[in-house]
A and B are shown apart, each in its own frame.
Chain A
Amino acid sequence: MTAPSTHTTKPATGIAALLKTAVINALIALVLFSLMVGIRTEAGSDGQLTYWTRFGELASLVAAVFGGSIVIELLRQWIGPAGTERLVPPALQKGVSLVGRYLAPALLIFTLLVPVIFYNQRYILDLAILVLTYVMLGWGLNVVVGLAGLLDLGYVAFYAVGAYSYALLATNFGWSFWICLPLAGILAAFWGVLLGFPVLRLRGDYLAIVTLAFGEIIRLVLINWQDLTGGPNGVSGIPRPTLFGIPLDRSDDGLAAKLGIEYSATHRIVFLFYLILALALLTNWATIRLRRLPIGRAWEALREDEVACRALGINTTTTKLTAFATGAMFGGFAGAFFATRQGFISPESFTFQESALVLAIVVLGGMGSQLGVALAALAMIGGFELFRGLETYRMLVFGWAMVLIMIWRPRGLVGHRAPTVYLKKAQAISSDLVKEGHG
């Protein structure tokens, strides 16, 4: 933890003030960490608690806070007070907009080529599939949070509904993936409507808590309804997807045998890659198209000002409900894909952390920007991979990242977006001008 700087309004000047701030911060850190870090407790084998001291770690943490606050204070003086207008040279602006225009197609082409380039690198392919899953989840949640401005903290519930729908239908009735996929989406959307109908009258943060509670309820039911869901053990042996009935395995009816090529386990990975890419692009395409329809415009209007929306005769409940159901449906699709990819699902995969991660992707991506969400998913999941060795620290870093992003760029990385409707000329809307709806 870094301690706060004590001068937020009037920046400290001079070495003495700087040192004073740093000393105060270090003292605060010393008190905060004294017991939590300085003393380590552990239950012994006989159930008796023992403790030992860790003054070395404590000292280094306090020193880090001391050094860190000096650095932050210096940076702050160097950058200048918050809110200073910084002019971007026109040439750079032009360059940025040029990059912006070609970034999306370039990324898409690169993504299409990923299995070709990295054909022999299973690790990268798996990682790419994971990133694409989160891109899809991010785009799905973007409909709810980014377009309609409804804060949904229980998005993982719909992901879980989709995953369990496919898993249970496939293992109990032997239905194929391609029948279950739409069903999973429909069921998730159905749950979205079921939840949304009563709660969408609530204001923003109440809605957030209710969706969070809903997500937890779904998870607890999955854990406790052992007859249906297998409880904490989850569902295993979920069938792998087929290419419209042709399995991708070693057997004689397998795709490899039919095409007369040698079987390789990578075929299935590549197939999964293109499957999730197609699903994600479907989400993206549907979102972009929906934004041009009256309903999409109603969503965006709702985000900007709910009262004005109501005054204009938009049925806010229906509008919110459609956004909720659409987002839930994409979550359900992603869930079905997750189940078929893993072959095993358990309630462990559908915790609140997952919801928060997807939400962080949407927020980091700039709430409403499709490209931003994709980049944010890449950054987040890639970042998670970097911390793979430090399993316990990675959620700590994730939490700090969320706080710091909110402080540094509350509007996300891609803070500008093109308006859907305009008069004569499309002018980029700075996200600072955009107020989120509070409905």
Chain B
Amino acid sequence: MDYFAQQLINGLVLGSIYGLIAIGYTMVYGIVGMINFAHGDVFMIGGFIALITFLILISLGLTAIPLILLVVLLVSMAITALYGWTIERIAYRPLRHSFRLAPMLSAIGMSFVLTNYSQVAQGARVKPIPPFITGGHTLHESPDGFVIQLSNIQIMVVITTIVLLAIFTWLVSSTRLGRDMRACEQDQTMAALLGVNVDRTISMTFVIGAALAAVAGLMYLLYYGLVDFFMGFVAGIKAFTAAVLGGIGSLPGAMLGGLAIGLIETFWSAYFSVEYKDVAAFSILIVVLIFMPTGLLGRPEVEKV
């Protein structure tokens, strides 16, 4: 039981990270109707930028951890958001009215570009950082000595996720931008006729998605203590699985799906085999798409001629 509770905590933390990435997929799919294949790599770029900012701040002699974290968060969100904007501008916007497979293929190309760009720029080796946030709380100690640990970093990941989700939900539901986004999701032509700047709204969608992915990258860096140039691919597919599981296009669905994937992966590693944890996640994607193509919270899609 204690082991189970510990895995539950681990799974929820991992799921929060997946959920943050999944929001980027689901938003873009909702508005542009394409799978932003490069989104996983945007997450990886976010992790790298966070790592480099950390290094600079520490070598500048900063010691206040909260200040460092805040600066790193803002810097990596800002630069990664610019990456998201640039990618949309270069690789997707010219193809918006092209045939359906074109943006997808362009996105695959972009994913290769980003992966290899960071390999060329930062080298192929894994980059570790020393643990920044240490310590934790013992929640429960069973008689046989098994301890349920809740580390401070886990608390931080979950709290950051919740805060960001709250901000994001407010953004989508109560601001002009959010209304524009929802309008574009329903009907781009009509939205444009009613004075919505569709290009800008789509750009902003990519910017927000990339910023959230950057947060996920930072969390990943803090939680696992390392980044490498290839981490975006698998994380990206899993986050996409999360978005599909939650119902693509649905924001709470993406978070829910992220948590579900995180839990499944953690429990699978804990009780079955670590080697096949990715196989488990990918199999879930296949199974969900076959039996529940609309996901948990998605709307059924009506095919129009």
Q: Give Cα A205 to B28, complex, Å.
A: 13
Given contacts A36-B48, A42-B123, contact A151 B101 (CB under 8 A): yes
Distance in angstroms from B95 CB to nearest chain A CB is 6
Q: Give Cα A216 to B237, complex, Å.
A: 10
B51 touches A205 (CB 8 A): no
B125 touches which of A43, A223, A398, A411 (Cβ 8 Å): A43
Using CB atoms, name the residue of chain A closest to B108. A356
| Chain A residues within 8 Å of B98, by CB | 406, 410
Distance in angstroms from A361 CB to nearest chain B CB is 12
Distance in angstroms from B288 CB to nearest chain A CB is 10
B115 touches A204 (CB 8 A): no
B289 touches A396 (CB 8 A): no
Q: Give Cα A196 to B238, complex, Å.
A: 21
B305 touches A395 (CB 8 A): no
- Does B34 count as interface, using CB distance less than 8 angstroms? yes
- Does B136 count as interface, using CB distance less than 8 angstroms? no
Interface size on B, residues (CB 8 A): 73
Distance in angstroms from A129 CB to nearest chain B CB is 25
Q: Give Cα A40 to B122, complex, Å.
A: 6
Given contacts A41-B52, A198-B290, A209-B240, contact A436 B99 (CB under 8 A): yes
Distance in angstroms from A379 CB to nearest chain B CB is 15
- Does A237 count as interface, using CB distance less than 8 angstroms? no
Using CB atoms, name the residue of chain A closest to B241. A213
B113 touches A393 (CB 8 A): no
Given contacts A4-B86, A198-B286, contact A206 B293 (CB under 8 A): yes
Q: Give Cα A198 to B266, complex, Å.
A: 27
Q: Give Cα A213 to B283, complex, Å.
A: 8
User: Which of these binds chain A: B148-156, B161-169, B273-281?
Assistant: B273-281
- Does B128 count as interface, using CB distance less than 8 angstroms? yes
Distance in angstroms from A147 CB to nearest chain B CB is 14
Using CB atoms, name the residue of chain A closest to B227. A41
Those of A371-410 within 8 Å (CB) of chain B: 392-393, 395-396, 398-403, 406-407, 410
Those of B98-139 within 8 Å (CB) of chain A: 98-106, 108-130
B286 touches A4 (CB 8 A): no
Q: Give Cα A353 to B227, complex, Å.
A: 21
- Does B55 count as interface, using CB distance less than 8 angstroms? yes
| Chain A residues within 8 Å of B283, by CB | 213, 217
Q: Give Cα A396 to B222, complex, Å.
A: 28
- Does A3 count as interface, using CB distance less than 8 angstroms? yes
B290 touches A39 (CB 8 A): no
List 27 A-B residue pairs with CB atoms under 8 Å apart, sorted by A's residue number: A1-B113, A3-B86, A4-B89, A28-B82, A35-B75, A36-B45, A41-B55, A41-B127, A43-B125, A43-B128, A51-B56, A51-B59, A212-B237, A213-B282, A216-B237, A359-B105, A360-B105, A393-B120, A396-B113, A396-B117, A399-B110, A399-B115, A402-B108, A406-B106, A410-B102, A436-B100, A436-B101
The 6 closest A-B pairs by CB, nearest first: A402-B109, A399-B112, A399-B113, A4-B89, A213-B282, A396-B116
